[in-house]
Amino acid sequence: MHSRITQVIPRLTEGGAFVKVAHDSDTTNSDVINAITRHLDENPVNPWFRFFRSASAALVRGRPWVEDLSYRFPSSRVKIEFLPASSDVPAAELTQESLYSLTRTYGKLTDIISQPAESKVVPRYALVDFSLPVCAIMAKNCLHGFKISPEDGGGKGGTILQFSYERKIKAHWIRDWFFNHPRIMLPILAAILAAITVAIFDPIRTFFIRIKISPPLQLQDNRLWMWLQRQATKANSLFSLHRDQFHESKGLNEIWEDRKEDAQQIQNWLVEGNDTFIVVHGPRGLGKKEFVLGETLKNYKNKLVIDCKPIQEARGDSTMIAAAAAEVGYRPIFSWMNSVSSVVDVATQSAIGTKAGLSETVDTQLGNILQNTAKALKKVALDGRRKGDKDGHLNDDEWLEANPTRRPVVVIDNFLHKSKDNQMVYDKLAEWAAALIYTNIAHVVFLTSDLSYSKTLSQALPNQVFHQVSFTDCKPEVAKRFVLSHVSGEEGSKGVDYTDEGYNKELSECIKRLGGRLTDLEFFARMIARGLSPNSKLPTPTPKLSLLHIVVANDLAAAIQQIVHQSAAEILKLFITEADSSSRGWTPEQAWYLIKNLGTAKAQTGKLANPDEEDEASIRYSDIILSDLFKKDGENTLRALEKAELIVVISKNGRPSIIKPGKPVLAAAFSELVEDEVLKSRLDLGILSQLINMENQTINKVEDELKVLGSLSKEPSEARRRIKWLLAKLALSQAKVDQYEMESAQLKLILKTEF
């Protein structure tokens, strides 16, 4: 056999080539292809893209179309179109048997799909599926343009076969699937986004939280940094350095010295590692946060402070999440994404009837923040662990339990601040804190001024007794030392002999009236430090003009007067003029009733546990409960007012006994408000109006019952006592109404004549 290769046309996209061979007349096409096949069998060629299958050859029987179109790729399915050999004779559609015998030579078939008979698509076609794409490539290149003779079933004029690749999978099927199946794809998309967030952003957030817990640079211990702070404070430079409110006070050492036992007790609890909360509770303005951070935990490097106040006061879910993240150093935070996701969820629900699940609730997002914070706290606690330690064989949980001093301290400040607005935040924090305690990750200290803290904390940590430290007002001698230390150390204060006996005596009287609240004492001390000096002689008050209404020459009295006046203005704003009974738990009339009674009352001698406090204004608890204004849910109203720090309830033998002002300075503020005749008349008029309405309601009920009894055909003897009682009650209520009306007329006369 004499033959030679004349041309090779490569087909890179199909992984093969056309080879043109010239041979003599004695050699047939079958001889050539048999020789090539035999040669490939004896010398197999394994290309890199067909490692397990050697190259093969087949005879081209048609007229192939050698094209280089970029978007036509091989497929295991070919479309065979039946074209007429001449324009005057139609093409014949081959049967599946004919197609099978024609294409089976090039590889195994999986299916043959004929064109539906009712289809109007021309030219007619059939789909042939091969088991492998290489088989379809061989069939397409060898049979394209092949003519089927009439003898083989090609019709009268013959039929030409035209091959093309047909994709089994439609284009853009992912996009079509996504839009056609949103109930499946949207939750999957949300899960993918969540997984990406956890994989990429969570480690970054944990890193920033660790920096918040344990800063790499302890600037508060750096001498250069402290010197720069002092210089900046002196010069009032353009940049400001943030410092806590009481850290600027010069007399805090006097306060901390008096509370040294409390600080030592908290430190002992931290060393012991007991599995419970540490709660520091007391009214606002006593320096609880400054005491815990500045004195008790001053030697603790790893601590995290979470202030609940900015979280509760945030407006909107996104702002709340951003505030919570800022407290623990959780960033980056994409709080705005939740709003976008919520819009998508609403649109999806309106379209398909179910939510996509892209948005997260505030509860879920807050849980994610706290979960990352717990991870960071655990890593910080384990930072000091070394393999060579004596307890290096312990696992992480056992090591943390055995080393309570290595755990960081979490301080949760302003716990239960505005708890009625959003209790969920406090429940979440309490549960998270309990988990930290159970797993020995950190110590938790709660700072609160709410007396009902045990209810919330007990739900998270049941069957546990909390370690509690109660904060009260400073003792008079401690408060005096605080003021003197603050004033004597204040730069720019006038030269005053603070050891003068007369000055100290007068200062003691002022502090006794002011009380032991640190915020009030510091404000008072700053006023003195601006150059005030005492005068031993005080003006004598008159019945018409109280000492608190006289502009006195004495500077200390003037300072006290300013504080009292400010307190009186705050009382009016918070408890009377802007009081909302639906949300705060009391009415303006009830608050004013207490203020008026405390402002005019004297001490209840023999009722207080501490004899030193008997000179303070106080009223009996039972007198308030039995008054008409407090008949309905009076005890809850008093608890709400005590929580708001307007009053304080003193117990005797476990029962409420005495009601006093929330702090000593409020007693003077109450007196100032009561001595304002116009204000007193206006507010008393409101009380009388409410009492008149209450008596009128009682009269209406009595009259309705009398009507029912009077409608009886014959008055029964058994009802006579009831009727007599109703008539007496009617007369008593009417007498009260008459009395209230007379008092109202007198108050209206005062309002018309006084300014």
Confirm whether 696 is domain-assigned.
Answer: yes
The more confident residue out of 17 and 230 is 17
Q: How far is CA 642 from CA 450, 604, 621, 731, in A?
A: 9, 19, 12, 37
Q: What is the mean pLDDT of residues 664-689?
A: 90
Q: How far is CA 469 from CA 261, 269, 463, in A?
A: 10, 11, 19
> Same domain for 141 and 197?
no
pLDDT for 545: 32
Does pLDDT of 82 surpass 90?
A: yes
Among 70-79, 279-288, 292-301, 525-534, the minimum mean pLDDT is found in 525-534
Confirm whether 555 is domain-assigned.
Answer: yes
> Same domain for 653 and 732?
no
> Same domain for 463 and 409?
yes
pLDDT for 193: 74
Angstrom distance (rounded) from CA 453 to CA 427: 11
Strands (E), 379-442: 409-415
Q: At 365, which CATH number?
A: 3.40.50
Residue whose token pair is 């004349």:
6
Q: Residue 188 — very low, low, confident or very high, per pLDDT cuts 50/70/90?
A: confident
pLDDT for 170: 64
> Same domain for 342 and 388?
yes
Q: Residue 648 — very low, low, confident or very high, per pLDDT cuts 50/70/90?
A: confident
pLDDT for 146: 94
Does pLDDT of 163 surpass 80?
A: yes
Q: Count other C-beta atoms under 10 Å from residue 709's C-beta.
A: 14
Does pLDDT of 289 surpass 70?
A: yes
Collapsing DSSP to helix, strand or coil, 191 comes out as helix
Q: Residue 364 — very low, low, confident or very high, per pLDDT cuts 50/70/90?
A: confident
Domain edge (last residue) among 644, 675, 706: 675
391-396-399-403 Cα dihedral, nearest 10 degrees: 130
Confirm whether 343 is domain-assigned.
Answer: yes
Closest CA to 340 of 323, 322, 356: 356
* pTM of the predicted protein model: 0.63
Q: At 616, which CATH number?
A: 1.10.10
For the stretch 562-589, pLDDT in tens is: 888 888 888 888 888 865 656 678 889 9
> Same domain for 157 and 203?
no
Does pLDDT of 750 surpass 60?
A: yes
> Same domain for 630 and 708?
no
Number of structural domains in the chain: 5
* Three-state SS annotation for 550-597: CCCCCHHHHHHHHHHHHHHHHHHHHHHHCCCHHHHCCCHHHHHHHHHH
> Same domain for 454 and 307?
yes
Q: How far is CA 304 from CA 293, 329, 508, 651, in A?
A: 10, 10, 39, 36
The more confident residue out of 163 and 510 is 163
Q: What is the mean pLDDT of residues 88-111?
A: 92
Q: What is the mean pLDDT of residues 210-231?
A: 67
Structural domain boundaries, residue 744 = 692-755
Q: What is the mean pLDDT of residues 659-671?
A: 87
> Same domain for 323 and 457?
yes
Does pLDDT of 119 surpass 80?
A: yes
Q: How much of the chain, in percent, has pLDDT values that exceed 70? A: 81
Most confident segment among 481-495, 528-542, 712-726? 712-726
> Same domain for 718 and 600?
no
Confirm whether 686 is domain-assigned.
Answer: no
pLDDT for 394: 84
Confirm whether 682 is domain-assigned.
Answer: no
> Same domain for 221 and 306?
yes
The more confident residue out of 54 and 146 is 146
pLDDT for 492: 45
pLDDT for 616: 64
| Residue 66, token pair as written in the block | 């050698």
Q: Residue 359 — very low, low, confident or very high, per pLDDT cuts 50/70/90?
A: low
Contact, 451 vs 483, CB < 8 A?
Answer: no
pLDDT for 218: 56
For the stretch 415-457, pLDDT in tens is: 988 877 778 999 999 999 999 999 999 999 999 988 788 888 9
pLDDT for 352: 53
> Same domain for 545 and 658?
yes
Q: What is the mean pLDDT of residues 314-334?
A: 87
Confirm whether 259 is domain-assigned.
Answer: no
Mean pLDDT of the chain: 81
pLDDT for 311: 92
Does pLDDT of 493 surpass 50?
A: no
The more confident residue out of 682 and 186 is 682
Q: What is the mean pLDDT of residues 690-702?
A: 93
> Same domain for 131 and 219?
no
pLDDT for 20: 92
Domain edge (last residue) among 675, 702, 725: 675
Does pLDDT of 112 surpass 90?
A: yes
pLDDT for 354: 52
Q: What is the mean pLDDT of residues 668-682?
A: 90
Q: At 88, which CATH number?
A: 3.30.70.330
